[in-house]
Amino acid sequence: MTVERPKSITKGEFCAKMRILEKKLEQLGKKKIYLCSEGAMRWLTGSRHQVVEIAANTPTTVQAVVETSPTTSLRFFSDRWESNRVHDLIEQGIWNECGVKASYGGTSPDLTEEGIASPLTEDYAEIERSIVSPLAEGMEGNQKAKLDWLVAESRQALIEIAAYMEEGMTGWDLRTLVHHTYHRRHMELNLVMLGLSGMRRHLHPVVEDDSVVEPGAVVKIAIGARYFDMFHSATQLVKIGEAPSHRELAVHHALREATLAYADRFTAGAVEKDLHESLGPIFKKVEEKHELEGFTQSAYLHHAGGPLSPLGNRDFVITEKGQRKILPYSQFSVNPVDALEFLKFELQGIALPAGPPRIIDEFAWKHDGFNAPPYDTIKWRGTTLRLPTIITHGDT
Q: What percent of the chain lies above the pLDDT cut of 90?
A: 86
One-letter identity of residue 266:
F
Looking at residue 394, its pLDDT comes to: 62
Looking at residue 1, its pLDDT comes to: 45
Please return the burial class of 290, using the count of CB atoms within 10 Å of its CB with bins 0-12, 13-18 and 19+. Answer: middle
Please return the burial class of 334, using the count of CB atoms within 10 Å of its CB with bins 0-12, 13-18 and 19+. Answer: buried
195-234 per-residue burial string, b: 16 or more CB within 10 A, e: under 16: bbeebeebbebebbeebbbeeebbbbbbbbbbbbbbbbbb
Question: What is 141-392's CATH topology?
Answer: Creatine Amidinohydrolase (3.90.230)
Residue in 202, 196, 203, 178 with CA at minimum distance from that of residue 188: 178
pLDDT at 372 over 90: no
Indicate the SS3 state at residue 228.
coil
User: Which pLDDT tens digit goes with each residue over 96-135?
Assistant: 999 999 999 999 999 999 999 999 999 999 999 999 999 9
Spatial separation of the C-alpha atoms in residues 53 and 137, rounded to whole Å = 26
pLDDT band at 388 (very low <50, low <70, confident <90, very high): very high
Torsion of CA 129, 135, 137, 141, to 10 degrees: 140
Q: What is the DSSP letter of 357?
A: P
Give residue 104's Cα distance to chain centre: 31
pLDDT at 287 over 50: yes
Mean pLDDT of 192-205: 89
- Domain definitions of the chain by residue range: 11-132, 141-392
Q: Going by C-beta distance under 8 Å and a sequence separation of 6 or more, which residues neighbour residue 263?
A: 332, 334, 347, 349, 357, 359
Looking at residue 395, its pLDDT comes to: 61
Beta carbons of 240 and 217 less than 8 angstroms apart? yes
In CATH, the architecture of 11-132 is: 3-Layer(aba) Sandwich (3.40)
Indicate the SS3 state at residue 166.
coil
Spatial separation of the C-alpha atoms in residues 11 and 9, rounded to whole Å = 7
Mean pLDDT of 24-38: 97
Mean pLDDT of 19-23: 97
Q: Which ranges of the chain does DSSP label H, i.e. alpha helix?
A: 11-28, 38-45, 83-92, 124-132, 141-164, 171-184, 246-263, 272-290
pLDDT at 381 over 90: no
Spatial separation of the C-alpha atoms in residues 253 and 116, rounded to whole Å = 50
Beta carbons of 240 and 365 less than 8 angstroms apart? no
Beta carbons of 321 and 331 less than 8 angstroms apart? no
pLDDT: which is higher, 139 or 370: 139
One-letter identity of residue 213:
V
